[in-house]
């Protein structure tokens, strides 16, 4: 349907529902969890007091018997000694940088649930400094090799060596021009052509980060529909811009954002009956954990992390969402910043079989350099109206289409066409599902309460026991030379250059880390403990602290 016709049709359809009914529907379309209620989650976050367990309470906070406490203490001391011996230079540099580097203070403080953070930081500090990468290995400043499971937040799709090569190529290609901005390097033409061919969409704009690409998509959707609100789904991350991060983390309320439950009839009805919705943002990674935020070990207070992909069900949901958006003239924005090129060559649109109005990219598309890209239908990408010359939608950035970034992107896009890269996409899903199954068989055979769930090469670790210490696994993995990002076992990201031999070593080390952790008693729990009872206990403790008792 033509854009303006869709808008008129939407307006008249919306007349059928009364304002009261629409309000009621909106509240029913929210997810029942706290994450589904942004205002409440921000309010409650402001009430939670700080609790620091001292060295004694740390090991027995769940009422473990003395014998278990002793094993935990020994295990912790051993790990602390190993870390002190292996990472002296990294620890010294991290300590030196910490005071002046806000980001390091933040990530350093939020690796584990806050009650445990101080004691862990004092004894199991993580070195933030690395020096080299080769194959699937990253080497830290103390010369320790780690299998990289961070995937550099998803940027590392093809292996670090491939990006080093792309950056070298980019410097060679754009080096004569240097950082000339505003005017364009000729490679931009090829990038635009390739992105149009890849997406089947009409126009492209270049930005500096995924966050900015999302900002631009939403701004354009508001401009063209003349509607105010953006819909994002509960738990979905779309960067750190305020309008797409309405809950905890944003100091001001995002008043023009609706956070709706995903895979929900009521959400579809809301979209079908409101007239103020400009666009809907989809983060396809949510297929792994619909309605839950990205899993991070700092929120792993029990064993309640859930994940698992039902590809057919999620595809059907996206299909229905697309239909409603199309009927109602709502712009459907596929945020493929993370999943683009990773779950399929054509990203989530190909993987789930949908046709969005706009797609945002970032991460790997920069060929190893920072980038955000928006691709969309011509009618939505225009930043001016020929009949109203002063009514524009402004979006420009100093570094947009930087020559070096454009050249690295070009190297990446050309690489996609190489037979070796194309082969990586052959049977991609099956390969990573089979690997996840192998990992799970190994873990089950070892008798440890740990499993993994995955969306292709994006994995998360699940725990089968209501332990308060599941987050400790990240330190045992580190001891085994497996490197995780600051969200710990919440997110493992494999690069596609992981061969079977490397993967076998990861499985072996991962399993050994779990066995060590089990032997050290961290998975002990009271026979009648459940995730719910653990959470209740924590809540009681926080209330007591808050009331100053």
Ligand X SMILES: Cc1ncc(COP(=O)(O)O)c(C=O)c1O
The CA radius of gyration of the chain, in Å to the nearest whole number, is 24
Q: Which stretch binds ligand X (CB under 6 A): 95-103, 236-244, 319-327, 399-407?
A: 236-244
Pick the closest to residue 265 from 316, 196, 201, 209 (CA basis). 316
Please identify, using beta-carbon distances, which residue of 129 and 153 lies nearer to ligand X.
153
Contact 365, 340 (CB under 8 A): yes
Pairing of strands 137-140, 130-134: antiparallel
> 363 to 402, contacts with ligand X by CB under 6 A?
none
Q: What count of other Cβ atoms lies within 10 Å of the Cβ of residue 184?
A: 17
Please identify, using beta-carbon distances, which residue of 272 and 333 lies nearer to ligand X.
333
Please identify, using beta-carbon distances, which residue of 198 and 293 lies nearer to ligand X.
293
Minimum Å gap between C-beta 254 and ligand X is: 16
Question: To which residue do tokens 């090829």 refer?
Answer: 190
Minimum Å gap between C-beta 336 and ligand X is: 7
Q: What is the number of the residue whose Cβ is closest to ligand X?
A: 210
Helix axes 88-98, 66-86, angle to 10 degrees: 90
Exposed/middle/buried for residue 540 (C-beta within 10 Å: 0-12, 13-18, 19+): exposed
Figure out which of the listed residues 41, 94, 156, 209 binds ligand X, where binding follows CB under 6 A. Answer: 209
How many residues touch ligand X under the rule CB under 6 A: the total is 13
Minimum Å gap between C-beta 211 and ligand X is: 3
Question: To which residue do tokens 């690069």 refer?
Answer: 495
371/362 Cα distance (integer angstroms): 5
Q: Is 485 in the site for ligand X (CB under 6 A)?
A: no
Minimum Å gap between C-beta 281 and ligand X is: 9
Figure out which of the listed residues 58, 76, 314, 338 binds ligand X, where binding follows CB under 6 A. Answer: 338
Instruction: Count how many Cα atoms sit within 13 Å of the Cα of residue 137 in the half-sphere of its side chain.
Output: 13
Please identify, using beta-carbon distances, which residue of 79 and 337 lies nearer to ligand X.
337
> 283 to 312, contacts with ligand X by CB under 6 A?
283
> 126 to 165, contacts with ligand X by CB under 6 A?
153
Which pair of structure tokens corresponds to residue 385?
A: 């109206």
Coil, helix or strand at residue 273: helix
Contact 139, 145 (CB under 8 A): yes
Coil, helix or strand at residue 159: coil
Minimum Å gap between C-beta 230 and ligand X is: 13
Figure out which of the listed residues 136, 214, 374, 492 binds ligand X, where binding follows CB under 6 A. Answer: 214
Minimum Å gap between C-beta 348 and ligand X is: 10
Q: Is 210 in the site for ligand X (CB under 6 A)?
A: yes
Q: Which stretch binds ligand X (CB under 6 A): 142-150, 156-164, 237-245, 272-280?
A: 237-245
Figure out which of the listed residues 201, 221, 278, 337 binds ligand X, where binding follows CB under 6 A. Answer: 337
Q: Which stretch binds ligand X (CB under 6 A): 9-17, 52-60, 163-171, 334-342?
A: 334-342
> 239 to 258, contacts with ligand X by CB under 6 A?
239
Residues 6+ apart with CB under 8 A from 85: none
> 487 to 546, contacts with ligand X by CB under 6 A?
none
Contact 302, 467 (CB under 8 A): yes
Please identify, using beta-carbon distances, which residue of 108 and 362 lies nearer to ligand X.
362
Q: Which stretch binds ligand X (CB under 6 A): 1-9, 11-19, 204-212, 388-396?
A: 204-212
Sign of the torsion formed by the C-alpha atoms of 460, 463, 469 and 473: negative
Q: Is 116 in the site for ligand X (CB under 6 A)?
A: no
> 269 to 288, contacts with ligand X by CB under 6 A?
283
Figure out which of the listed residues 87, 116, 206, 237 binds ligand X, where binding follows CB under 6 A. Answer: 237
Pick the closest to residue 10 from 320, 331, 261, 333 (CA basis). 331
Q: Is 347 in the site for ligand X (CB under 6 A)?
A: no
Q: How far apart are the first and last CA of the chain?
A: 63
Minimum Å gap between C-beta 284 and ligand X is: 8
Backbone angles phi, psi at 451, to 5 degrees: -140, 165
Figure out which of the listed residues 62, 140, 243, 335 binds ligand X, where binding follows CB under 6 A. Answer: 335
Contact 479, 80 (CB under 8 A): no
Pick the closest to residue 513 from 522, 503, 526 (CA basis). 522
Sign of the torsion formed by the C-alpha atoms of 150, 297, 451 and 60: positive
Binding site residues, ligand X, CB under 6 A: 153, 209-211, 214, 237-239, 283, 335, 337-338, 362
């Amino acid at each position: 349907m033509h854009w303006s016709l869709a808008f008129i049709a939407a307006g008249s359809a919306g007349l059928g529902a009364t304002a009261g009914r629409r309000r009621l529907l909106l509240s029913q379309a929210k997810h029942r969890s706290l994450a589904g209620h942004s205002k409440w989650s921000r309010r409650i976050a402001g009430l939670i007091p700080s609790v620091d367990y001292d060295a004694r309470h740390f090991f027995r906070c769940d009422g473990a018997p003395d014998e278990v406490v002793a094993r935990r203490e020994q295990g912790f001391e051993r790990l602390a000694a190993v870390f002190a011996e292996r990472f002296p230079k990294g620890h010294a540099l991290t300590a030196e940088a910490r005071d002046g580097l806000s980001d390091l203070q933040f990530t350093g403080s939020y690796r584990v649930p806050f009650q445990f953070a101080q004691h862990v930081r004092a004894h199991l500090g993580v070195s933030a400094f690395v020096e080299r990468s080769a194959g699937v290995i990253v080497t830290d400043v103390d010369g320790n090799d780690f299998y990289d499971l961070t995937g550099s937040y998803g940027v590392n799709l093809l292996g670090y060596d491939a990006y080093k090569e792309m950056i070298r190529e980019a410097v060679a290609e754009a080096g004569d021009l240097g950082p000339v901005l505003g005017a364009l390097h000729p490679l931009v033409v090829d990038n635009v052509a390739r992105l149009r061919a890849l997406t089947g969409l009409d126009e492209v704009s270049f930005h500096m980060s995924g966050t900015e690409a999302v900002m631009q998509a939403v701004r354009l959707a508001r401009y063209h529909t003349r509607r105010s609100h953006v819909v994002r789904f509960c738990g979905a991350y779309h960067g750190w811009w305020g309008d797409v991060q309405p809950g905890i983390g944003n100091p001001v309320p995002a008043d023009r954002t609706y956070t709706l439950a995903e895979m929900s009839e009521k959400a579809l009805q809301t979209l079908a009956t409101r007239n103020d919705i400009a666009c809907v943002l989809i983060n396809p990674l949510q297929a792994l954990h619909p309605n839950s935020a990205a899993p991070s070990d700092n929120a792993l207070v029990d064993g309640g992390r859930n994940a698992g992909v039902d590809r057919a069900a999620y595809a059907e949901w996206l299909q229905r969402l697309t239909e409603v958006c199309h009927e109602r003239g709502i712009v459907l924005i596929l945020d493929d910043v993370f999943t683009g090129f990773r779950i399929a060559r054509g990203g989530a649109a190909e993987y789930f079989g949908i046709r969005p109005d706009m797609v945002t990219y970032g991460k790997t598309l920069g060929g190893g350099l920072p980038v955000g890209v928006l691709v969309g239908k011509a009618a939505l990408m225009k930043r001016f109206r020929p009949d109203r010359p002063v009514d524009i939608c402004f979006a420009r950035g100093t570094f947009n289409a930087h020559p070096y970034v454009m050249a690295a992107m070009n190297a990446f896009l050309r690489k996609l066409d190489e037979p070796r890269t194309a082969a990586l996409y052959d049977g991609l899903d099956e390969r990573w599902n089979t690997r996840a199954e192998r990992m799970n068989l190994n873990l089950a055979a070892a008798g440890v309460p740990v499993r993994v769930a995955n969306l292709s090469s994006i994995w998360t670790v699940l725990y089968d026991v209501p332990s308060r210490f599941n987050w400790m696994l990240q330190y045992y993995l580190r001891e085994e030379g497996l490197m995780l990002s600051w969200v710990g076992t919440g997110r493992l990201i494999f690069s596609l250059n992981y061969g079977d031999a490397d993967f076998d070593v990861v499985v072996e080390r991962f399993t050994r880390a779990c066995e060590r952790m089990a032997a050290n008693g961290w998975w002990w729990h009271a026979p009648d403990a459940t995730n719910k009872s653990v959470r209740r206990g924590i809540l009681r403790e926080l209330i007591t602290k808050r009331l100053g008792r």
